[in-house]
Chain A
């Protein structure tokens, strides 16, 4: 049984570009949360998706958007990339609001 998977593993983008990150939840999980972890910092909550709707959002600008598909997988989109968006992006899946599992992350570098 695969756990949470994320793709791609690493990504390099230029300022102003747009990026899409993907997350497949653990089997049996229906909720996906996204976190951003800057170097040397703890992860910060971006938003959570449940039943294909954004259920809660952290303190992130509208440049950050997401989507959840009927199979519970999710995408995180970031528009107009800034240097400060360089970070490890972590996806966590869970069954409802129960504690969940984290994926390995996607390392985004903006140059």
Chain B
């Protein structure tokens, strides 16, 4: 059974710092991995999607890496801003007919001005 873990559960940093969020998964047979952002009480916004054959994806100040063999992914946020404050969720999919997502519990990020 696939399990996804995110560390740390919460993180507080001063504005301008670079930071890394971690995600690990127990079954390396994944189809893809996504990082999402969730603002309090809101839906999910997809940030980056990495296919199982890829090693990393970049979008602006965000960079996500994937090491399938070790069951790990990291989300790197450069030059953090107060507007980056949110919960960041990692999810893996096993592909197949439904491509359902299995989520971690998230990292709550607070960027202090």
Interface residues, chain A, CB within 8 Å of chain B? 4, 33, 35, 40-45, 48, 55-56, 58, 88, 90, 92, 94, 97-99, 101-105, 107
Partner of A105, one of B42, B98, B102: B42
Closest A residue to B103 by beta carbon equals A42
The docked-state distance in angstroms from the alpha carbon of A42 to that of B91 is 9
Chain B contacts of A90 at CB under 8 A?
43-44
Q: Given A88-B41, A94-B99 in contact, is the A99-B32 Cβ separation under 8 Å?
A: yes
Q: Number of residues in B with C-beta < 8 Å to the partner?
A: 26
Interface check B95, CB cutoff 8 A: yes
Contact B99 A97, beta carbon cutoff 8 Å = yes
Can you name 27 A-B residue pairings with CB atoms under 8 Å? A4-B43, A42-B91, A42-B106, A43-B44, A43-B89, A43-B103, A44-B103, A45-B101, A48-B98, A48-B100, A88-B41, A90-B43, A92-B101, A97-B95, A97-B96, A97-B99, A99-B32, A99-B34, A99-B49, A102-B36, A102-B44, A102-B45, A102-B46, A103-B43, A104-B42, A105-B42, A107-B41
Chain B contacts of A58 at CB under 8 A?
100
Closest A residue to B99 by beta carbon equals A97
What is the CB-to-nearest-CB distance from B43 to chain A, in angstroms, rounded to a whole number?
A: 4
What is the CB-to-nearest-CB distance from B36 to chain A, in angstroms, rounded to a whole number?
A: 8
Partner of B97, one of A41, A55, A103, A104: A55
What is the CB-to-nearest-CB distance from A65 to chain B, in angstroms, rounded to a whole number?
A: 17
What is the CB-to-nearest-CB distance from A96 to chain B, in angstroms, rounded to a whole number?
A: 8
Chain A contacts of B111 at CB under 8 A?
none
Chain B contacts of A104 at CB under 8 A?
42-43
Interface check B86, CB cutoff 8 A: no
- Interface members, chain B 18-72 (any A CB < 8 Å): 32, 34, 36, 41-46, 49
Contact A45 B102, beta carbon cutoff 8 Å = yes
The docked-state distance in angstroms from the alpha carbon of A92 to that of B101 is 10
Closest A residue to B104 by beta carbon equals A42
The docked-state distance in angstroms from the alpha carbon of A94 to that of B46 is 13
